[in-house]
Structure 1
Amino acid sequence: MTTMTNKKVLISGAGVAGLALAYWLDHHGFRATVVERAPQVRHGGYAVDFRGEALDVLDRMDLLEPVRALDTAMGDAAMVDAEGRQYATLPAAVFAGDLEVPKGELTRLLYTAAEDRAEYLFDDSVSAVEQDADGVDVTFENGPPRRFDLLVGADGLHSRTRALVFGPEERFVHSLGIHTAIFSLPNHLGLDHTGQLYVSPGKAANLFAGDAGGRARAALHFAAEELAHDRHDIGEQQRIVAERFAGEGWEIPRLLTEMRDAEDFWFDANAQVVMDTWARGRVALLGDAGYCAAPTSGRGTSQALIGAYVLAGELAQARGDHGAAFTAYENAMRPFVTEHQALGREGAERFSMPAPTQEMLDMLAANAPENTHPEMVRLPDYGSSQGEPEPAAG
């Protein structure tokens, strides 16, 4: 039997993509190490949607039912004016997937599933990469240098791995002209599996909650093509958001006050990563690092899960021949990425439209992706479990 090579894989990033990849690499007999800049797995963040093939991946990880148990089951949302008066209803089909769960809870489930399947290096990150024909030498910010067979960058939109191996961010990251701030806050409106949405020219704010007794989450969006700011300076980011929403009505003043005390505040541009290839030598990119579709697509988490499953499976099928595996991975994922990025651009274009009428919203709901493509498409079965991967069919 042929011996599999390239078994030691470093994954940069312990988000959805990185944790799912650690699970599947172990499943196929690889030895994964995950390095994460944060001191622990990040548990905050917004709610995320699952559709189609991503449900298939969760099912194969035995996580579909645990994830279903966390489903927020969001209903319709009220469109409100500056005085809080409802003027339209946003059907759930427009904004919700087949499943919607808090991202922090999803990350917790993935980490629990992958915790014993990989080595974890928290509070550290990759600072330099050198590769040759036989492996990848990685220098870390804090730990000693190490050598791996392969390196996978699953470190998000602002990927350090991508910058070190493929080039500067501005070559690949393209803003869609929208910035978003997301944070949690007390559910002072008593929302229960529903939300409210406020729209003004170039701005929108929504407030959702999955439980009347729990916390709500707010998202503030505004149009801006280029916006210079320090990605690590939360105070500066919050000042930018407050300035953009100054003078707005509805619940905006209270949201801005709560924003300053939020421990899970997140702010960034809605952007896409566009690359001709996601692999160079022994280094590959996964999820947002290689092909971010932007939050306006509603597909980022699904795309990360599918990509992790396919990448690990193709490495197993190729018995560690990373060149063949990376090519097959790209060929399999390109159709997903092309479709999802198109949805992201369409979502950004809708942001610039006038406040929608009820007729427009009903039309969007009738054509929502989960209504027009309700069937789950089964992904390839890459075979078995721990140890030697099964030979490729044929």
Structure 2
Amino acid sequence: MVTKSVLVSGAGIAGPALAYWLHRYGFRVTVVEQAPAPRSGGQAVDFKGATHRLVLERMGIWDEIQRRRTGRTDVVYVDDADRELAVMSGDFTGGDVEILRGDLTAVLLERTTADCEYRFGDSVTALTETADGVYAEFANGPAETFDLVVGCDGIHSTIRRFAFGPERDFVRHLGYYYCVAGASAYGMSAGHTERGRALAWNRPGRSATAGGSKASQLYLFASPELDYDRRDLAAQRQLVAERFAGVGGGVPGMLAALPTLPDFYLDSLSRVDLRGKYTRGRVALVGDAAYGNTLGGVGTGLAVVGAYVLAGELAAAGGDHTVAFAEYDRIMARYAKIAGTANAGRFLAPRTALGLRARNWFLGSRAFDLMLRYADKAVNDIELRDYAVELGLVAER
């Protein structure tokens, strides 16, 4: 069994998923997370296809995800009088199974906190690679040396910046911002398996969606890159209110409720492009830090598959990161193409009235069904090694 040490930055989804597999293969794992505690709630995330299910079953968490799942939610686009214009099926937005991000994180933490060291309320402030490891400095603790470092810290990854370079070199702004507020993106809560319904109001370049009596909200709006204080939530709420001022339908009621809703989050729609190279030296990236595409619909699945592949390749290579990282890059460069060039902003909030009408037509067309079939095929377009069987940790399956 391997006994190398690995520092994982980020305790969202990719980080704990990677920690699970690394510990199973004998690595010593430390996970550092800037937030003071695990985040609860958050928007809904989903898994789709046999590949995602296979990884979750091998982790032993598929049944628990099913228990905590939310119901699918149809998004109904309406005019200002709430007359139906088009419907985006919950089968498209919710995959095969949907779960709140915070609930998924809780499931992963439940299976890793006893075996891996978690340090909440801390972050990496510097990395220095040496011949024998990576010297990591921390905001709130003494420096340490690890054999490997993995960034699972999202599109705005600090680890990527240290190892690869400035964010502007690898992250492309897609011309839109999004805001989520409330228990989930569309208002379904854990354990609710009935089908939900959310209403969406559009203006060119703007979309506002509400579910659960406006207790959960999703906003999208077209905009060049903005300069705002990420710590000033009140100012961010005001920014959203200004962007949607004058939009009719249910939007005034949404904006009235916005100041009181928890789990507020505003960020740009962005896509990470590392050109298929997610490793450098002794540092690797997993999840949105490596192949993120905001609201692209496959980010969570890519994160758990990427964590499975990286840990498995490291174990199969006996901890030799030079061999394992090359294989991880090769496998994920092909599979991560599923994130592709999609821009959810253009689809959910077209910039012109003609674009809105075309989108509404598309949702009810045969072309939309064909797109769904293509997406289903793409998420399964990978052959996963059964690393645990190869390493003799479990019997032949």
User: TM-score under structure 1 normalisation?
Assistant: 0.89
> Greater CA deviation, 14-23 or 200-209?
200-209
Deviation at 1:131, TM superposition (A): 1.0
2:236 aligned residue: 237
1:48 aligned residue: 45
Q: Contact 2:11 / 2:31 at 8 angstroms: preserved in 1?
A: yes
Q: Contact 1:29 / 1:389 at 8 angstroms: preserved in 2?
A: no
2:74 aligned residue: 76
Deviation at 1:262, TM superposition (A): 2.2
1:38 aligns with 2:35: yes
Deviation at 1:389, TM superposition (A): 7.3
Alpha-carbon distance in 2 for matches of 1:35, 1:372: 34
Deviation at 1:167, TM superposition (A): 1.0
1:286 aligned residue: 286
Counterpart of 1:70, as a letter, is: R
Counterpart of 1:228, as a letter, is: D
Q: Which runs of 5+ in 1 are unaligned?
A: none
Alpha-carbon distance in 2 for matches of 1:92, 1:188: 13
Q: Secondary structure at the match of 1:38?
A: coil
Deviation at 1:301, TM superposition (A): 0.6
1:200 aligns with 2:203: yes
Q: Contact 2:72 / 2:91 at 8 angstroms: preserved in 1?
A: no
Q: Secondary structure at the match of 1:87?
A: strand
Counterpart of 1:360, as a letter, is: F
Deviation at 1:88, TM superposition (A): 2.8
Instruction: Write the deviation string for residues 142-199 of structure 1: whole angstroms up to 9, x where unpaired.
Output: 011111110001111111111122111111110111100001169999x962211111
Deviation at 1:71, TM superposition (A): 2.6
Alpha-carbon distance in 1 for matches of 2:67, 2:358: 33
Instruction: Write the deviation string for residues 108-135 of structure 1: whole angstroms up to 9, x where unpaired.
Output: 1111122212101111000011111111
Alpha-carbon distance in 2 for matches of 1:54, 1:131: 34
After TM superposition, the structure 1 = structure 2 runs for residues 112-261 of structure 1, keeping only pairs within 5 Å, are 112-184=110-182, 193-209=196-212, 216-261=215-260
Q: Secondary structure at the match of 1:314?
A: helix
Alpha-carbon distance in 2 for matches of 1:285, 1:184: 30
Q: Contact 1:8 / 1:32 at 8 angstroms: preserved in 2?
A: yes
Alpha-carbon distance in 1 for matches of 2:99, 2:358: 26
Identity %: 38
2:99 aligned residue: 101
Counterpart of 1:217, as a letter, is: S
Deviation at 1:318, TM superposition (A): 0.7
Alpha-carbon distance in 2 for matches of 1:188, 1:389: 44
Q: Contact 2:86 / 2:364 at 8 angstroms: preserved in 1?
A: no
Q: Matched residue pairs, number?
A: 378
Deviation at 1:200, TM superposition (A): 1.1
Deviation at 1:254, TM superposition (A): 2.0
Residue 251 and residue 18 in structure 1: after superposition, are their counterparts in 2 closer, same or farther (change >3 A)?
same
1:110 aligned residue: 108
2:191 aligned residue: none
CA RMSD of aligned residues (A): 2.6
Q: Secondary structure at the match of 2:68?
A: coil
Please list every run of at least 4 consecutive aligned residues from structure 1 whose deviation after the TM superposition is greater than 6 angstroms. 185-189
Alpha-carbon distance in 2 for matches of 1:34, 1:59: 23
Deviation at 1:313, TM superposition (A): 0.3
Residue 285 and residue 389 in structure 1: after superposition, are their counterparts in 2 closer, same or farther (change >3 A)?
farther
1:320 aligns with 2:325: no
Instruction: Write the deviation string for residues 295-321 of structure 1: whole angstroms up to 9, x where unpaired.
Output: 1x1011111111100000010011111
Deviation at 1:370, TM superposition (A): 5.2
1:332 aligns with 2:331: yes
Q: Contact 2:73 / 2:93 at 8 angstroms: preserved in 1?
A: no
User: TM-score under structure 2 normalisation?
Assistant: 0.88
1:341 aligns with 2:346: no
Alpha-carbon distance in 2 for matches of 1:205, 1:176: 18
Q: Contact 2:74 / 2:195 at 8 angstroms: preserved in 1?
A: no
Residue 366 and residue 319 in structure 1: after superposition, are their counterparts in 2 closer, same or farther (change >3 A)?
same
Instruction: Write the deviation string for residues 257-297 of structure 1: whole angstroms up to 9, x where unpaired.
Output: 222122210110010111132211111111111111221x1
Counterpart of 1:170, as a letter, is: R
Q: Contact 1:51 / 1:99 at 8 angstroms: preserved in 2?
A: yes
Residue 348 and residue 246 in structure 1: after superposition, are their counterparts in 2 closer, same or farther (change >3 A)?
closer
Residue 66 and residue 101 in structure 1: after superposition, are their counterparts in 2 closer, same or farther (change >3 A)?
same
Deviation at 1:76, TM superposition (A): 3.0
Alpha-carbon distance in 2 for matches of 1:198, 1:8: 50
Counterpart of 2:209, as a letter, is: N
Deviation at 1:238, TM superposition (A): 1.3
Q: Which runs of 5+ in 2 are unaligned?
A: 189-193
Q: Contact 1:22 / 1:117 at 8 angstroms: preserved in 2?
A: no
Q: Secondary structure at the match of 2:77?
A: strand
1:59 aligned residue: 57
Q: Secondary structure at the match of 1:198?
A: strand
Alpha-carbon distance in 2 for matches of 1:207, 1:325: 45
2:372 aligned residue: 369
1:87 aligned residue: 85
Q: Secondary structure at the match of 1:144?
A: coil
Alpha-carbon distance in 1 for matches of 2:101, 2:142: 32
Q: Contact 2:41 / 2:183 at 8 angstroms: preserved in 1?
A: no
> Greater CA deviation, 280-289 or 372-381?
372-381
Deviation at 1:80, TM superposition (A): 1.1
Alpha-carbon distance in 2 for matches of 1:103, 1:73: 14
Deviation at 1:220, TM superposition (A): 0.5
Q: Which structure exhibits the higher relative contact order, with contacts defined as CA atoms closer than 8 Å and separated by 6 or more residues? A: 1
Alpha-carbon distance in 1 for matches of 2:237, 2:33: 25
